A and B are shown apart, each in its own frame.
Chain A
Amino acid sequence: MGQVDLIQVSKRYGTAEAVSAVNLAIADHEFIVLLGPSGCGKSTLLKMIAGLEDVSDGEIYIDGNLVNYARPADRNVAMVFQNYALYPHMTVFDNIAFPLKMTGVAKSETDQRVRQAAGALGLETLLDRRPEQLSGGQRQRVALGRAIVREPSVFLMDEPLSNLDAQLRVQTREELLRLHARLQRTTIYVTHDQIEAMTMGHRIVVMRGGVVQQVGPPQQVYDEPANTFVAAFLGSPRINLHAGRLDQGGSGATFVANGTAILLPPRLAELARAATTEAALGVRPENIHVLLDPAATDGASNALPATVSLVEPVGSDLYVTATTGDLSWTARAEPRLPVTPGQTIGLRLDLQRAHLFGESGRNLALAG
């Protein structure tokens, strides 16, 4: 119980396509995260699974049953809404009890199940309050309680943490994971927060403009982004991504962007051979090393003299942004490194971990 299959699922509003031909097989017990920027169709996809939006095209199966035409309440899914959508005129108890009441569960059983759910979420003392008398975190837990009390086979969560402050968000994230570990229910979780996606998902689904860009375990998606969009979306600070051209010169393949030439190591040179001349190079900030002595870059083909333009200490790290010609690079450096804006430094790119993207932004390493 709790397996969800999406086959070529699309949603059109008029002529605009909010979700385009999504194929996804979600296993029982899986915690899958839909990740993407605002407006990319995450909520729409979730609502289609819930039955709150009609499917324009394609098929949705829950536990092998086609549910395209099933009523939301008959799909055995529960949803936590972004705004919680608590019934303002009901107490916490009545909010949690509502789904049971509507499906005709006996009063004594309702009472017991509500108390159990409330207990699991630490809401016992708040049962007589109304939503307006609760803090954001408490409301969020009531919304969660209303979902778990039904014991559905699939949980749908639409950015359930986005209205909490940073500290509460981390705490609730852990609680959600514990809850998932305990209940072992398939969870489809929508967020635009990459940290949530990375920390919570067994797999993440990166979406853009209604189209799935990549599906995979978080680390894999981070390490092997399918295209420039995924590379840019995951990781903070952002990956250094520069468009340029490939030169198959005598000394080996080089990547040239705005007059800066970078000799590619054999792994990337190999990929470059199969590509057209247009390409983009992506290097994550943690794969760029700051050398205080620019002279140290002499001779090294993957080292560039650069001028520091910005230094951002974040405590655990120091983000150093420096420019070579017209190219700007951000490096993650040691926290107390003595660099100041205007200073000339050397940047050594660890190209073994760099990505080369070809036409339409595709990662050449994943071609085929």
Chain B
Amino acid sequence: MAIETEFAELRPPADITRATAARRKGPSLYLIAIYGILVIAAFIALVPFLYVISTSFKDTISLFQYPPEWIPSEPTLDNFRGLLADYPFVRWMLNSFVVASAVTIVKVVIDSMAGYAFAKMTFPGKDALFLVVLMTLMVPFAATLIPLFIIVRDLNLTNTYAGLILPALASPIGIFMMRQFIETLPTDLENAARLDGCSEFQIFRRVILPLIRPGLVVLGVFTFMTQWTSYLWPLVIGTKTEMFTLTVGVQSLRSLFTVNWGILSAGAVLSMLPLVLVFLFLQRYFIAGSIAGALKE
């Protein structure tokens, strides 16, 4: 064999300026088209909401007017008054709030810890375990609904908060989300913390957790929203009117033969309100970056 005089690893790296040059293109027709489609889609999504809001302010007569009015000529609060006077609407809202908050808080804690373990720790069977977690993602809820109901019934948890909350805690999507989020954090941050004297839990608590705050908020809002709008499970597990959640309660407003659309719409509007508020308050977290400055450019 000839003596080595050329060394692949000593050659200068391939030209990297090309990649940056290719990226430098102004906003294009493509972008304009995308925004156009988004605007149209947003409008289509908004129409039903606007109509429900409009309906909730109509009296029984103008409700069935044709053509329908977008802005009621004589707006009334009768629907809201009726809803609060004749139905345990406040209780339903409280139920929804308790369930959604509890699930959100517990899930954010559990999922971020599990996500950290899957993203950054090494332990035997980690990949296999993660695969199992992922696989549960692929089981449709309809398939587990009946067995789950039997378990919860046998535990005497029907018509309880525990029965509403506990099953919702075991969902892998949050673990998956947090794992993806935490994986993007540079490992050297943990290494630095390790050298600085942190235990594994302290690394999680003092370094990881503050840095994934945007992720936690996204997960929290996402979970809260899912719980707030969840219908099937609360319907199955709650038989007493006072243990209804909002979704089940509002749905129960339609009696067997008649539907009071005005009251139903008022219920729907009041149910949406908290979600809209949550979004407005936490919006900035969806956009904010968290690790700027940790790494050099």
> Which residues of A approach B to under 8 Å, CB–CB?
37-40, 47, 50-52, 71-73, 77-79, 81-89, 98-99, 102-103, 130-134, 136, 139, 146, 150, 163, 208, 228-229, 232-233, 238, 241-243, 278-280, 357-361
CA distance A72 to B191 in the complex (A): 9
Residues on the B chain within 8 Å of A89, using CB: 210-211, 290
- Give the residue name and chain of the B residue nearest to A280 (CB): B3
Task: List 28 A–B pairs whose Cβ atoms lie within 8 Å, in order of A's numbering.
Answer: A37-B7, A37-B10, A39-B9, A47-B191, A78-B195, A81-B191, A81-B192, A83-B188, A83-B295, A84-B295, A85-B186, A85-B188, A86-B294, A87-B189, A87-B192, A88-B211, A88-B291, A88-B292, A98-B193, A99-B195, A99-B196, A132-B293, A208-B9, A232-B10, A238-B10, A243-B2, A243-B5, A280-B3
Since A85-B192, A139-B293, A358-B3 are in contact, a sample of 19 more A-B pairs with Cβ atoms closer than 8 Å, ordered by chain A residue number, is: A39-B9, A52-B194, A72-B194, A72-B195, A79-B191, A81-B191, A81-B192, A83-B294, A87-B189, A87-B294, A88-B294, A89-B290, A98-B196, A102-B196, A130-B293, A131-B294, A232-B7, A232-B10, A360-B3
Interface residues as binary, B1-24 with A (CB distance below 8 Å gives 1, 0 otherwise): 011110101100000000000000
Do residues B5 and A232 form an inter-chain contact, with CB atoms below 8 A?
yes
Answer yes or no: B25 CB below 8 A from chain A CBs.
no
A237 to B: closest C-beta gap in Å: 12
Question: In the complex, are the beta carbons of B3 and A38 less than 8 A apart?
Answer: no
Do most interface residues of chain A lie in helix, strand or loop, or is the interface mixed? Answer: mixed
Which of A83, A358, A359 has the most CB atoms of chain B within a 10 A radius of its CB? A83
B67 part of interface (Cβ distance < 8 Å) = no
Considering only CB atoms, which chain B residue lies closest to A149 in the complex? Answer: B196
Interface flags for B190-212 (1: CB within 8 Å of A; 0: not) read 01111111100010000100110
**B260-297, CB under 8 A of A: which get 1 and which 0?**
00000000000000000000000000000011111110
Interface residues on B, range: 20 to 34
> What are the residues of chain A within 8 A of B292 when measuring CB–CB?
88, 132
Residues on B lying within 8 angstroms of A by beta carbon are 2-5, 7, 9-10, 186, 188-189, 191-198, 202, 207, 210-211, 290-296
